[in-house]
Amino acid sequence: MTEITCKLLVIGAGPGGYTCAIRAGQLGIDTIVVEAEKPGGTCLNVGCIPSKALIHAAGEYETIAAAAEGKSVPGISSAKPGLDFAKTIAWKDGIVRRLNGGVAGLLKKAGVRLIAGHARFRDGKSVEVKTPSGSQMIHAETVVIATGSEPIAIPTLPFGGRVISSTEALALTDIPNKLIVVGGGYIGLELGTAFAKMGAAVTVVEATSRILPQYDAGLSAPVRTRLSALGVNVLTGAKAKALVSDGTALAVETADGQQILDADKILVTVGRRPVTSGFGLETLDLDMNGPFVGIDDRCHTSMRGVFAIGDVTGEPMLAHRAMAQGEMVAEIVAGRHRAWDRVSIPAICFTDPEIVTVGLSPDEATGQGFDIKTDLFPFKANGRALTLEREDGFIRTVARADNHVLLGIQGVGAGIAELSAAFSLALEMGARLEDVAFTIHAHPTQSEAFHEAALMSLGHAIHI
């Protein structure tokens, strides 16, 4: 077994891991990153990027199909479109490969050594890596755990055969005629909506009383309306039980009794869990926070010289949180004074329409004891939204009643994900309602709804 040393060892080359490694390399730190799969992690390879490619393709196909049926913009017509889904998947895979190469190139540019293999802790400073060419022992001064998360399986519906996770859903080469999505959270609805637009008969089975339970009802209502328009059957207060009829159907328990739903594929999206097994974590004396690795505000674990970042450390399980943590840890290792002082982490649901939340919702702000002012401006009163034929949704501001400092911003609407940076920046800068109201927002854009929501809370909205 060969033995090598480094100052910083990063286990996992997902968004958090590769960002940490690149920044460390830029700062002159001798860094190694170990990854068992392709660089980029779940997000790049089987999550964020490929799912958004599929969502885009589905939207394009739906637009052409609507024109063929005379349901598009008046005056626009088209022949009935065709869909070669295998070619769509190949296009998606091409994007992933391009980004894989980009990450690998950035690591090399920063002087980081990328080792392909499975890592396993021997102690807090030593990790054995099994590579295709043999085992290597890596000794490091500092270690960063960035192992990410994985889909949760239902005990009565283990993955395999017709039962798939989001990973397999993004690798299908044919559109299933009948698709059941178990779990009405953001992953299930993003993929379920895409497949519905491409012709699948989709049924969503959600155990709680409504879809997207992590968002307030006002934000999820336009998504529910759109699902109905797409013909998606949504069962709430329903629990998936087990496969029946030789595995070709799913038994679902509802308030009205048991239903048997035929399915070509059953996509289980009931959440994700941290990857804390399979790499010797049990050999370390780390404090845990439930199923997650416990960390402080600098991503230190309870063991000296061991950091943890990303999904393995808890919610929110978001790539951009992991990336920010990774950058911070690299600078701490380099001797810089850093700590986690982020005001907010934006969360986006890429459904149709999209949902963006930043900071506190009205209920959360009230629950924390704030006296608030909150108003929303509907896209039905926004000129740009009307020209896009997407007037469903709104932008809402939540501010302190005493000094008008923004506590949160939420919105739901077509393409609204692109406004998330503006919302986040407002909170990070400590903006007040007046700051938004006195900022000129370009016309005609959907961002004007942000301006008008602030004006409404100040008592003088213009366009409603």
320, 443, 460, 463: the catalytic one is 443
Q: Are 413 and 385 in contact (CB under 8 A)?
A: yes
Per-residue pLDDT reduced to its tens digit, 51-84? 999 999 999 999 999 999 888 888 888 898 999 9
Q: Transcribe 226-238 into DSSP letters.
A: HHHHTT-EEEES-
What is the pLDDT averaged over residues 115-135? 95
Give yes or no: residues 15 and 120 share one domain: yes
In a domain, 413, yes or no: yes
Neighbours of 29 (CB within 10 A): 23
Q: Which helix H or strand E contains 334, and what residues bound it? A: none
Give yes or no: residues 46 and 101 share one domain: yes
End residue of a domain, out of 270, 286, 301: 270
- pTM of the entire predicted model: 0.95
Predicted local confidence at residue 399, as pLDDT: 98
Give yes or no: residues 240 and 304 share one domain: no
In a domain, 72, yes or no: no
Predicted local confidence at residue 121, as pLDDT: 97
Q: How far apart are CA 353 and CA 257, in angstroms?
A: 32
Q: How far apart are CA 65 and CA 91, in angstroms?
A: 20
Cα 417 to its chain centre, rounded Å, is 12
Q: Are 384 and 419 in contact (CB under 8 A)?
A: no
> CATH number, domain at 405?
3.30.390.30
In a domain, 77, yes or no: no
In a domain, 64, yes or no: no
Give yes or no: residues 174 and 221 share one domain: yes
Predicted local confidence at residue 439, as pLDDT: 97
> CATH number, domain at 120?
3.50.50.60
Give yes or no: residues 297 and 227 share one domain: no
β-partners of residue 293 are 288
Using the structure block, give the residue that is written with the tokens 């894989």. 100
Helices (H), 27-129: 41-46, 48-68, 85-109
Give yes or no: residues 281 and 307 share one domain: yes
Q: How far apart are CA 428 and CA 445, in angstroms?
A: 23
In a domain, 73, yes or no: no
Q: How far apart are CA 214 and CA 420, in angstroms?
A: 18
Structural domain including 13 reads 2-53+86-150+273-333
In a domain, 157, yes or no: no
The model's confidence at residue 162, banded by pLDDT at 50, 70 and 90, is: very high
Predicted local confidence at residue 63, as pLDDT: 92
Mean pLDDT estimate for the chain: 96
Q: Are 322 and 312 in contact (CB under 8 A)?
A: no
End residue of a domain, out of 291, 306, 333: 333
The model's confidence at residue 1, banded by pLDDT at 50, 70 and 90, is: confident
Vertex 218 angle, CA 455 and 439, to 5°: 20
Q: Are 206 and 233 in contact (CB under 8 A)?
A: no
Predicted local confidence at residue 70, as pLDDT: 86
Predicted local confidence at residue 72, as pLDDT: 80
Give yes or no: residues 260 and 288 share one domain: no
What is the pLDDT averaged over residues 293-313? 98
Q: Are 219 and 211 in contact (CB under 8 A)?
A: no
What is the pLDDT averaged over residues 316-326? 97
Give yes or no: residues 239 and 297 share one domain: no
Q: Are 10 and 20 in contact (CB under 8 A)?
A: yes
Give yes or no: residues 219 and 191 share one domain: yes
Give yes or no: residues 135 and 38 share one domain: yes
Least confident of 64-78, 119-133, 185-199, 363-377: 64-78
Is the pLDDT at 369 greater than 90? The verdict is yes
Neighbours of 293 (CB within 10 A): 26
Give yes or no: residues 234 and 295 share one domain: no
Give yes or no: residues 9 and 133 share one domain: yes
Is the pLDDT at 136 greater than 90? The verdict is yes
Per-residue pLDDT reduced to its tens digit, 397-419? 999 999 999 999 999 999 999 99
End residue of a domain, out of 228, 250, 270: 270
In a domain, 121, yes or no: yes
Number of domain units in the chain: 3
56 tagged catalytic: no
In a domain, 279, yes or no: yes
φ, ψ dihedrals at 433, nearest 5° = -55, -40
Q: How far apart are CA 54 and CA 146, in angstroms?
A: 27
